[in-house]
Amino acid sequence: MSGGITHRRAFLPALAPLALLAACSVVESGSDNQTDPSAAPAGGDALSSPVAGASPTDAATPPAPPVPAEIAARTGELTAPDDFAMVMLYYSLTGLQPPIDKWVEDDMSVRTAAPADKAAARDAVRARFASGLQSVKDVGRLRITSNANLSDYDPSYGEYSVRVFAPSSSLIFNRSGERIHVKFDNAQAAQRWSVPTTEAQSIRDRIQYPSAVAVDALLQITGAAPERDGGTIRTRVISYELKNNNSGTTIARVTVPQ
């Protein structure tokens, strides 16, 4: 984990050393990877706006289901988590028993240890997993940075599409043969960034290249469950910042209607 308890490309390496875990720390949510379709310091003036809700049908959208009490009670925020942290979080959220014995035997430090050192290596790896699970037990929110996969401006609807949040998208984390998807319950609302036509040109000038736009998103965890190709952590996008990776400036701060 890195950055706070504290998240990119799908890969299947051996377990990271304890330093990855030590780099992560839990912060209270009140204080302040690879995708299917990092954040630079903020600078410049930002355009603040709610994500669109521009469609007339949005008012008819049913409210989001309540977050389960055991998840709602979690007050920790995991910032920029790595793959190891997300695998630990998935098992913490689901209450499923992680395959620690298998992970221990597959760990490179155990596999390469001399016979006389195997027992000590197993104990060290097992302790790392125990510490990892303990460190995420209070996490109920995520702060993740990714490429926004921003569309061109659509003048017909007066909006950009932040396609990293599209219903068909997910963020993927891989570790120790575990594949964890992060999906978005409010993807339809989150992906729409409304911009008045009168401001669209100045926004385009600041963006320069849509591929260079990153998104730093605050996500509320709403659930987790196993799936056929791995596990899924479900979230609701609360807010996000769009940033220009080339200049490091903040393009917009967006609050998503809930």
pLDDT per residue as tens digits for the range 120-163: 999 999 999 999 999 999 999 999 999 999 999 999 999 999 99
46, HSE (Cβ side, Cα atoms, 13 Å)? 18
**What does pTM read for this prediction?**
0.76
Task: Give the residue among 256, 220, 258 at the shortest CA–CA distance from 52.
Answer: 256
Distance of CA 88 to the CA centre of its chain: 14
Number of domains in the chain: 1
Asked, for residue 1, whether it belongs to a domain, the answer is no
Q: What pLDDT does 76 receive?
A: 97
Asked, for residue 73, whether it belongs to a domain, the answer is yes
Q: What pLDDT does 61 receive?
A: 53
Lookup result for tokens 């669109």: 52
Q: Which pLDDT band, with edges at 50, 70 and 90, does 258 fall under?
A: confident
Asked, for residue 85, whether it belongs to a domain, the answer is yes
Asked, for residue 7, whether it belongs to a domain, the answer is no
Average pLDDT of the chain is: 81
Asked, for residue 186, whether it belongs to a domain, the answer is yes
Distances (CA, A) of 96 to 72, 85, 91, 138, 154: 19, 16, 6, 16, 44
Asked, for residue 12, whether it belongs to a domain, the answer is no
